[in-house]
């Protein structure tokens, strides 16, 4: 049974004599796996020294350790290059054990060997890939089919602030910032479930707490049957680009002094409200506010004081409106407030609140500052230009009636 097991073993087995003199020891037995490994037949190996398998790439340091172990009668484990009968090299891993008789004398050595060339080459390729991934400036994350992280490169550590040891085995959810709506992640999951790649700019949270923006591509990796086994995510830090874009958008749509929407953005808001009114019947109202005697403020107190008055009025108007309303610096000292879905009476009450609140405050330099306001609500089938004209007429009426009052266009 033992002989049959050795004959049929997957690993190569060779037995040699214990003679260490001359070119000894010599092969006394080898199984078929050893013959297949070396390319020699059993007859060709019988009585030969295993040294016939050595060649230029055979590591002499390993052989010296081997000889030391044989002389000491201890177990040996090592690996180096050997050569087949056809001259081709292979990387062999072998262990050698002494076989002793009843008196403890070494009678033979038995060696179990395995060709590890493919395994080492795979390890080397894997190491090369890891070095390449660490060398790239883009952050790379590899996860299993359940999104548990298996690998991150050094660029990922730099981008996120997390060390590799902190994230392995986790899912990437710890990077979520709360800045994306649930639908964003729903689209991500649906795309990956279909086996599709997903590309988007993510707003993530750094380990230190601040936000960063990353252009990410997440790709499913499938096996030969088409089953997703892994996911690879490549991220590029685009924080500077996103920040600059936001700044440009802010500059393009907001007034530099007050931070309110500028006239261009206000006109866009008017168009959206007008579209909703015409298609869905959702009305809207406008308030046009003008600071009373603003030219005199500039002439008497200077433009710096005038700018402070504009800022204070802008802050008051912004604080008074709802989150979906728009406050626009329409021009000079004039402000337009766009109120989607707001009836005329509510807009009138809001305008009166704005007027009284401003009039009750004292500016440290100028003293009392007042506003005149005109109010109008959309009436089908008028367009936004007609509604704006009626609102302006109401403002003109309020100015004409003595200022610091609200006039409503009915």
Q: Is the pTM of this model over 0.75?
A: no
CA nearest neighbour of 143 among 233, 237, 236, 235? 233
Indicate the pLDDT class of residue 123, thresholds 50, 70 and 90: confident
In 130-265, the DSSP E strands lie at 139-144, 149-152, 198-205, 211-222, 228-237
Phi, psi of 26 (to 5 degrees): -125, 150
Residue 265 gets which letter from DSSP? H
Instruction: Give mean pLDDT, residues 95-104.
Output: 92
* Least confident range of 6-10, 11-15, 29-33, 116-120: 6-10
Range 70-89 average pLDDT: 92
Average pLDDT over residues 16-41: 91
Confidence class of residue 251 from pLDDT cuts 50, 70 and 90? Answer: confident
pLDDT more than 70, % of the chain:
100
CB-CB contact of 283 with 341 (8 Å): yes
Q: Is the pLDDT of residue 396 over 90?
A: yes
Closest CA to 20 of 134, 80, 125, 96: 96
In which region does residue 87 sit, left (phi positive, over 0), alpha (psi from -120 to 50) or beta (all else)?
left
CA-to-CA separations, 373 to 183, 212, 260, 312, 360, in angstroms, rounded: 41, 43, 18, 16, 16
For residues 96 and 75, the answer to whether their CB atoms sit within 8 Å is yes
pLDDT confidence of residue 78: 92
What contacts 315, CB < 8 A, 6 or more positions away?
none
Domains annotated on the chain, with CATH: 2-115 (3.30.450.20), 133-242 (3.30.450.20), 254-408 (3.30.70.270)
């Amino acid at each position: 049974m033992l002989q049959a097991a050795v004959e049929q073993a997957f690993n190569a087995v060779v037995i040699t004599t214990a003679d260490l003199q001359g070119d000894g020891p010599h092969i006394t037995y080898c199984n078929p796996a050893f013959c297949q490994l070396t390319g020699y037949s059993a007859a060709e190996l019988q009585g030969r020294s295993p040294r016939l398998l050595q060649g230029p790439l055979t590591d002499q340091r390993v052989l010296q350790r081997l000889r030391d172990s044989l002389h000491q009668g201890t177990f040996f484990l090592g690996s180096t290059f050997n050569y087949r009968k056809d001259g081709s090299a292979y990387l062999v891993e072998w262990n050698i054990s002494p076989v002793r008789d009843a008196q403890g004398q070494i009678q033979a050595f038995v060696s179990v060997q395995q060709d590890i060339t493919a395994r080492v080459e795979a390890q080397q390729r894997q190491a090369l890939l890891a070095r390449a991934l660490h060398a790239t400036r883009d952050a790379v994350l590899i996860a299993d089919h359940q999104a548990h992280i298996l690998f991150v490169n050094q660029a990922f550590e730099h981008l996120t602030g997390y060390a590799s040891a902190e994230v392995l085995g986790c899912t990437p959810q710890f990077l979520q910032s709360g800045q994306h709506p649930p639908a964003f992640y729903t689209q991500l999951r649906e795309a990956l479930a279909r086996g599709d790649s997903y590309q988007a700019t993510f707003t993530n949270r750094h380990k230190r707490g601040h936000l960063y923006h990353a252009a990410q591509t997440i790709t499913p990796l499938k096996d030969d049957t088409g089953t997703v086994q892994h996911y690879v995510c490549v991220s590029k830090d685009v924080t500077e680009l996103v920040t600059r874009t936001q700044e440009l958008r802010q500059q393009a749509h907001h007034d530099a002094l007050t931070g309110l929407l500028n006239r261009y953005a206000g006109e866009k808001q008017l168009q959206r409200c007008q579209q909703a009114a015409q298609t869905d019947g959702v009305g809207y109202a406008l308030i046009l506010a003008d600071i009373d005697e603003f030219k005199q403020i500039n002439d008497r107190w200077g433009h710096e004081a005038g700018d402070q008055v504009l800022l204070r009025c802008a802050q008051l108007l912004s604080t008074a409106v709802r989150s979906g309303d728009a406050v626009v610096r329409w021009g000079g000292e004039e402000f337009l407030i766009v109120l989607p879905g707001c009836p005329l009476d509510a807009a009138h009450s809001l305008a009166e609140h704005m007027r009284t609140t401003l009039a009750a405050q004292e500016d440290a330099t100028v003293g009392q500052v007042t506003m005149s306001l005109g109010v109008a609500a959309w009436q089908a089938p008028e367009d936004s230009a007609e509604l704006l004209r009626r609102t302006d007429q109401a403002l003109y009426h309020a100015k004409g009636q003595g200022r610091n009052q609200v006039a409503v266009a009915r």
